[in-house]
Structure 1
């Protein structure tokens, strides 16, 4: 593909040589134009009524950017535990603030640990490999799976070698003291 050549000015590019450039410039050829044209009545778009708000039995966290809740919200996993506390704190910040998203990511990781602890507390052994999608990984991403196995094995080997080096291979006899 030939890229357009620059003109005399280093900041300008010859847009006429770019395939598809300006394809949406003509409002007669723009499929979204009728929705943006508010001077005409476009049938059903003018008569739309907001659906009733879903009644939620659980706590729903809402962004500070929105005045009202959407009509339908997810209620299958309400915020709870330490991850729920982190989620509540995260929603004190704007979605444009990176701390909001970092707290939500942290809450997701903590929620995984809380789930494993909850399974063990109810005498259920969690099937962590299945929950992590090992079958799908083997079926669709063999190279990625091999890389993950190699990284985990490397980390395990490093920890074992560091532990052995730290102990110096010696076993202290504390009974003589």
Structure 2
């Protein structure tokens, strides 16, 4: 094996057999200009800034803004000691969706999948709740229009899917159920209520 071949084996990520002949730090420093420049903390420009003992040696300063009122009891990640100085209040948490979201913030870290899955569940509950309440107020959603069928008109909807590798063809069959399941549930509940009332009469 030539010297060039030996050097190439040093750069292969995975070697099944044999021991890698890795070059030493001095060899790498001689071969690659600037290699290992950050190994010595004294050479790192960020060290004084990141060091707790440095204090204000870098001249960086920050004054905490005045805390927005109403922060007590607000949802926040458990990694944080308090809410941010400014936070949004346009969409306060309400109902069952709010209970689920508060539990996600109170119980799980943002690094846990459960935290984000509960937030997604809370979002779905919120959507379903608003669809039911809007229907009861006489402003139901446009269930047909929301399926996107209007955009399909005149765009060869059948031919464009036959023999195609479009990824949306795999879930097209379930789209009406995903969009309309709150309406189906609400209709079922309404039907049960009407039947019970009629039976009592």
TM-score higher than 0.5: yes
Aligned pair 1:93/2:113, yes or no? no
Structure 1: give runs of 5+ residues left out of the alignment: 136-141, 157-177
Q: Give the structure 1 partner of residue 11 of structure 2.
A: 4
Judging changes above 3 Å, is the alpha-carbon distance between structure 1 residues 148 and 56 closer, same or farther for their aligned structure 2 residues?
farther
Matches within 5 A, 1:86-125: 86-95=100-109, 96-125=111-140
Q: Can you list the C-alpha shifts for 1:140-167, whole angstroms capped at 9, x where unaligned?
A: xx99xx64366333787xxxxxxxxxxx
TM (normalized to structure 2)? 0.50
Larger radius of gyration: 2
SS in 1 for 2:96: helix
Structure 1 CA distance for aligned equivalents of residues 64 and 147 of structure 2: 38
Number of matched pairs: 142
SS in 2 for 1:92: helix
RMSD: 4.5
1:80 to 78, 94, 107: 94
Shift of 1:86: 0.8
